Each structure stands twice: as structure tokens, then as C-alpha cells.
A and B are shown apart, each in its own frame.
Chain A
């Protein structure tokens, strides 16, 4: 990308506020993510973590403050929004694969129509990424014929096919059966090792310890604490973080 982006933070949120009606979901969020940084966001449910990362690619609109992604400020200008979405991949809790398209078509749709790649090239890239998420043999199946873990890996591959600068993960393993969580996390760990910039909302603390450069703890719409994982897990500063960690790590 641009020089500015590689030097400064690639995601910058400054004093971001958001309300649902009267409910104040995000309160003065400040967050900076550098290129190649892996940020894991955790917190109790309803703390605004999903809302926060959905603001980064404008699936949710913020009402106050500034969000700058890859050097582009998010405004209501649809051109800016689409430019940012091209650079930001997102993986959802519910996979959200397109059920009427085959796996290969799911992977090539955006590269062909947004990146304007020739079909052949898009398909080559798609098969490459299917290989990387270890399901090359499923290319011609429909999403409904795959297991949850396989579907989520297809969803990750679908985002990667756009060659994004940043990947957002919104609780990617929360809808999976326990035995399928590992296969998805393995793919994510690999992605982290390759230097992808990642913002990840998850309750998988083992994963967080392995890959995170920065832990962010949110509660009631605020960022309560942030820091490197060793410190975050060993001696959390805030009482709320301590309580949350004791609950989530108890068993």
C-alpha cells in the first residue's frame, strides 16, 4: 500500500462513539493497529467488541470520531467504503457463504467482479487458497455439503482471495462444534505466522496466547485494558479484566 500506511498505523480509531437508539454501544474507542500486528479483542458478551470490528469495514456506522483504514478515512462516501472493503477481509461467526454457489464460485465472485481478474486467474488463486486451508478437494461442492469447520475455512479462503491487507475475525469459532475448532484455529495461526494484519474477536484464549501481539479487553462499550499477552494474562491491571479472565479461564 501507500508509504503512509506502512509507516503509521494501518487501522486508526479515534474517539469513536456509537449508539443504538439510546444505548451507548461504543464509548470513545481509541485503537491503533500497525501493519502486521495481531490484535485479539475479548470481553463479555454485549461489551461492543463485535460492533467495534464491524465499524472497521463499515458494516456498522459510527456516529462520532474518526476511523482511518489503510490511509482512507471512513465517511459515508460509498467510494471510500468500497475501497476500504477491498482491502479488509472479514470472517463471520455464521460463515455466511453463498449457498447457491459452489465453493470455487464463492471464492472467485469478488476477485472477478471487484478486482476484475480474468476468470482463469481467479480460479487459480482460489485453488491455491483452498489448498492452504487444506480442502482443495471440495472446490466443486456446495457449502451445504460441507461441515461447519470446512465452511469456515472456505470463508477464510474467500476473504484471502481478495488479497486483503487486513483480516477481521468476528468470533470465527463460536458457531463450531468443539472438534472442528482446532482445524479453523490452525489455519488462523498459520495466517498470523505469515504476517497478516489481524483483528480477532474470540474467546479462544489459547489461540490469543499463541498469536496475539496485543490483547484488548472491552467491557460495556469501552476498551478497559490493552497490552502484550504475557502481561495481560499474568497480571491484569483492572478488576474487570481480572474477573473476566477468572471466569473464562476457570475451566
Chain B
């Protein structure tokens, strides 16, 4: 047997079972953490950093933390003062909503989460989901305002905290998305007037910070309205958020529309599909699937942008956190309060990003050609 034959033979046996060092946990470590000198150095540095950083954080957040206290005088140690959150969480979550009625905003939060989770199931997409949303929004309205079914009336000046954040964000996205689709299609329309209006709208709104838009909605708009006519402050903020998000989403969607090959449109045309059906069944499903990552990016941005309504005197989640820090008997608890708030925002945003990854995988299934 020649050397070459021997090598070939060895090669064949090596292919039957991979050498132990390339598979299993050791193989994984070698491939991912120690594949080169540079990577080894990075791995060691990262482990050292974690070893230094994690213990103090855990000590602060868990071992040295104070879980019950009557005021910040009970929180003199080096740890976190979670007692403050225990004392204030209902105010942070529901703000100035009447205390004994706070089960209502709690239900609102649950309804929002339930409707959002239901929307994640693609089998429900369609008329049924639209009806579910309508029912959900109606229930939210009844629970928040009251005044019917034996519920006491709560003016929307008292709405605050997490329910307000969710109302602004969820309704904002739900209305901005269809508007954005129309704007994106309009910007690619053959009709010059439609195109001009859409381009003007998108460029105008994108060129202005949301903060300015909110200011204009709350301060300037009333100046132009006839005396005696008022539009609710919450509604004005909601409309500003919808208009703002729609402009950004429209550009994202336009990117997807441009990526659809001309042949797809020709094939749909050749089959006799009308513009509406072609758009609904051929163009949009493909275009939207392509732009899931930037879409979700914009959604997450919108969700966090709702915190800006604090500037026109609405108390969203961040607003109630700030307000809770004004209590004279609780001093020096801002870190705990903001960590709590950040955790809530993170949960929602992280959920959105995970869901988008799942959607992407699902849409791409069987589509590699």
C-alpha cells in the first residue's frame, strides 16, 4: 500500500466519525472561544471582566438589598432599596388612577398583552384578528374611562403609568402600520399627485423631531383652533405618535417594495390580478417579510419614544417613576426606580425582537432557492 492510499484510507475513516476535538463541548469551546491567539485573549479578558463585574452587582441587587422598610431611613446599607419599589410599585404602574379602581388598568395591561400574543399567531391573521383588536380596544376604553356598567368615570387626565404607555405605543403602532403601507405604496404610485403628497408628508414628518411634533400638537394646535373647541391632550399626543411612526415605517416598507423583482409584478399582471390583489397577495407579503428586522427596529423605537410625552405633561411609565421619586420620606432611591422601569421596558422590547426572529425563520422556511 502506497502512502497516498494509506492517507486516503485514513481520510475515509476520519469522515465516518469526526475526530473528537471538533465536536461536543470541547470542540465547541475550541471553535468558538479559542480558535486563535486573538480570540483566546478576548475570551480571557471577557471572563476576567465578568468575574469582576458580576459579584458586586449581585451583592447590591440581592445579598445586601433591603426588601422591607418603612422609609429610606430603613435602607442605610450598601445594597439596593427594593422596599421602595414594594411601597411604590402600584403608583409607578398605575399612577394617579383612583387607588381602589386600579384593577381596571391592570386588566387593561392584561388585555393588551393577550391581544399582542394572539396577534403573534399567524393562523389568526385576518378578519378574526381585526375583530379581536376591535373588541380589545373597546374593552380597554370601557375599563379606562368607565361611566358604564357600574364603573365610575375616570377622566383621561388620571390615566398614567404602564397602561398609558401601552395605549400610546400599541394604538400608535396599530394605526401607524396601515397608514405607513398606504404611504409607501403612494410614494411609488404612477399618479404624480399621490406621489407628491406622500413624499411631502414623509419628508416633512421625518425632518422634524418627535418632541417638536408633540409640542406643536399640544401648544400650537389649540392656537389655530376656533375658541371653545378643544381636542383632548392625550388624543393629540396619540395622533402625533401615529403620524410620526407612520413616516418612518413607510420608508422601511418602501425599501421592501423596491426589493421585489419586476418579474413578480409581471407574473401577477399576466394572470389578470388587479392592482389591489397584486399588492395584497404578491407584493406586500414578500416586501414585508423582507423588512421584518428594520420594521421591528422602528416598532421598538416607537415604543420607547412614547416616553417623550412627559414633555407635554402626560404621565407615562417614565413619568410616574419620576413622580414617585418626589416623596420626601424616600430619598436616594432613583437607581432602584429606574432599574425597575428599565426592566419593564426591556421585557416588552426583548419580546418584540425575539418574536421578529421567529417570524423571520418562519417566513424563510422553504424559500431558499
Contact = CB atoms under 8 A, between A and B. Distances in A.
Interface of A: 57-59, 82, 85-86, 88-90, 92, 94, 96-100, 109-110, 113-114, 141-145, 155, 158-159, 162
Nearest to B275: A78
A114 B286 contact: no
Nearest to B367: A144
Interface stretch (B21-29, B101-109, B266-274): B266-274
A139 to B, nearest CB: 13
A96 B269 CA distance: 11
Given A96-B263, A99-B286, A100-B289, A141 B366 contact: yes
Given A92-B266, A96-B266, A110 B369 contact: no
Nearest to B264: A96
Contacts of B268: 98
A100 B363 contact: yes
Contacts of A143: 369
Contacts of A155: 267
B368 interface: yes
Contacts of A110: 271-273
A156 to B, nearest CB: 12
B263 A109 contact: no
Q: Give the interface size bracket for B toward A.
A: 20 to 34
Interface of B: 261, 263-264, 266-274, 277, 281-282, 285-286, 289, 363, 365-369
17 contacts: A57-B270, A59-B266, A82-B274, A86-B272, A90-B267, A96-B261, A96-B266, A96-B267, A98-B267, A100-B289, A109-B271, A109-B282, A110-B272, A114-B274, A144-B366, A145-B366, A158-B271
A85 B269 contact: yes
Contacts of B263: 92, 94, 96
Contacts of B277: 113-114
Contact of B273 (A99, A109, A145, A159): A109
Contacts of A88: 270
Contacts of A89: 270-271
Contacts, number: 75
A142 B266 contact: no
Contacts of A85: 269-272
Contacts of A99: 286, 367, 369
A155 B270 CA distance: 12
A98 B264 contact: yes
**Chain A CB within 10 A, most for which of B267, B274, B285:** B267
B280 to A, nearest CB: 9
Pairs A-B, 9 closest by C-beta atoms: A144-B369, A96-B267, A142-B366, A110-B271, A85-B272, A90-B270, A96-B263, A86-B272, A114-B272
A89 B369 CA distance: 25
A90 B261 CA distance: 17
Contacts of B274: 82, 114
Given A88-B270, A114-B272, 14 more contacts: A59-B266, A85-B269, A92-B266, A92-B267, A96-B261, A96-B263, A96-B267, A98-B286, A109-B271, A109-B282, A113-B281, A141-B366, A142-B366, A145-B366
A144 B270 contact: no
B271 A100 contact: no
B282 A98 contact: yes
Given A92-B263, A94-B263, A145-B366, A100 B285 contact: yes
Contacts of B367: 99-100, 142, 144
Contacts of B272: 82, 85-86, 110, 114, 162
A162 B271 contact: yes
Contact of B281 (A58, A109, A142): A109
A96 B363 CA distance: 18
Contacts of B273: 109-110, 113-114
Contacts of B267: 90, 92, 96-98, 155
A58 to B, nearest CB: 8
